[in-house]
């Protein structure tokens, strides 16, 4: 591990509107190779936190140290499925930020795009229109786009939501690979079982409820304070967060 975190958030507060308080006093650090599960109810501050980390949301107080621009993997439902782009076109969008407007995408970047699709198991679908792919395949294309960005930190917004079991397993294997090569992943999720497999868990309910290793953080008490009425406790070790926005 290097001597510095790739993300450091200290006493962060802010929201979409001044005084809104979508986030209050959030503190955490992320080190290279760590997988962080971000648990929060709907409206609990996950999106606000991600937008702040992406530099898209001015915050009222606190600081964010993020030496490199993170990559962002949105929920696949937010993409226009009727747009005339192939899987490779979408993956290559990851190279837009480093290519001046007057230059064509380099052949090296095209190779990186194809390699990224190969890595997520979609080399044979590179020419397929994005809208014709299954939900799981579309999610993998968006992950390939983040790989092309070559960012040390990747933010993922509920990447397994609405994804079939085979694609979910594949995606979790990709996460393990990325972590092994030193990339840090912040994964917004409602899946408490998935959160238990991460290195750290950040629980938000507008304010920060807890941050730490899953075996310490994922107690029934913390989950209750995070999800409130949205939490269903099945037994001492199992709880389910109800995602009212799940597709």
CA-CA distance, 154 to 151, in Å (whole number)? 7
Tokens of 234: 């099945």
Contact between 70 and another protein by CB under 8 A: the answer reads yes
Q: Which of 20, 58, 63, 83 binds another protein (CB under 8 A)?
A: 83
Tokens of 196: 């238990």
In terms of CB distance, is 51 or 170 closer to another protein? 51
Residues 144-163 that bind another protein (CB under 8 A): 145, 149
In terms of CB distance, is 90 or 178 closer to another protein? 90
Contact between 136 and another protein by CB under 8 A: the answer reads no
Contact between 79 and another protein by CB under 8 A: the answer reads yes
What is the x/- site pattern for another protein, positions 199-228, by CB under 8 A?
------------------------------
Piece of 81-89, 118-126, 197-205, 230-238 that binds another protein (CB under 8 A):
81-89
CB of 203 to another protein, least distance (A): 24
In terms of CB distance, is 24 or 90 closer to another protein? 90
Strands 238-241 and 231-235, bridge-based pairing: antiparallel
In terms of CB distance, is 146 or 223 closer to another protein? 146
Q: Which of 1, 18, 19, 56 binds another protein (CB under 8 A)?
A: 56
The site that binds another protein (CB under 8 A) totals a number of residues, namely 27
CA-CA distance, 217 to 39, in Å (whole number)? 11
What is the x/- site pattern for another protein, positions 92-131, by CB under 8 A?
-xx-xxxx-xx--------------------------xx-
In terms of CB distance, is 130 or 211 closer to another protein? 130
With helix as H, strand as E and coil as C, how does the chain read?
CCCCCCEEEEEEEECCCCCCCCEEEEEEEECCCCEEEEECCCCCCHHHHHHHHCCCCCCCEEEEECCCCCEEECCHHHCCCCCCCEHHHHHHHHHHHHCCCCCCCCHHHHHHHHHHHHHCCCHHHCCCEHHHCCHHHHHHHHHHHHHHHCCCEEEEECCCCCCCHHHHHHHHHHHHHHHHCCCEEEEEECCHHHHHCCCEEEEEECEEEEEECHHHHCCHHHHHHHHHHHEEEEECCEEEECCCCCC
CB of 14 to another protein, least distance (A): 16
Q: Which residues bind another protein (CB under 8 A)?
A: 54, 56, 69-72, 74, 78-80, 83-85, 89-90, 93-94, 96-99, 101-102, 129-130, 145, 149
């Amino acid at each position: 591990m290097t001597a510095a975190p790739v993300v450091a958030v200290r006493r962060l507060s802010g929201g979409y509107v001044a005084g809104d308080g979508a986030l209050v006093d959030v503190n955490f650090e992320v080190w290279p190779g760590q997988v962080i599960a971000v648990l929060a109810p709907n409206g609990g501050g996950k999106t606000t936190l991600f937008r702040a980390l992406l530099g898209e949301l001015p915050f009222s107080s606190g600081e964010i140290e993020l030496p490199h621009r993170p990559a962002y993997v949105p929920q696949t439902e937010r993409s226009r499925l009727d747009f005339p782009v192939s899987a490779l076109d979408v993956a290559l969008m990851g190279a837009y930020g480093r290519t001046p407007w007057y230059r064509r995408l380099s052949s090296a970047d095209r190779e990186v795009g194809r390699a990224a699709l190969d890595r997520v198991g979609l080399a044979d679908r590179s020419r397929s229109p994005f809208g014709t792919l299954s939900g799981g395949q579309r999610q993998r294309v968006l992950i390939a786009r983040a790989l092309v960005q070559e960012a040390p930190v990747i933010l993922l917004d509920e990447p397994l939501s609405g994804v079939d079991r085979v694609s979910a397993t594949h995606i979790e294997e990709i996460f393990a690979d990325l972590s092994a090569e030193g990339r840090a992943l912040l994964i917004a999720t409602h899946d408490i079982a998935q959160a238990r497999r991460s290195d750290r868990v950040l629980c938000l309910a507008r304010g920060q409820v807890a941050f730490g290793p899953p075996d310490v953080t994922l107690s029934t008490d913390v989950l209750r304070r995070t999800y409130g009425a949205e939490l269903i406790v099945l037994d001492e070790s199992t709880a389910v967060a109800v995602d009212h926005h799940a597709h």
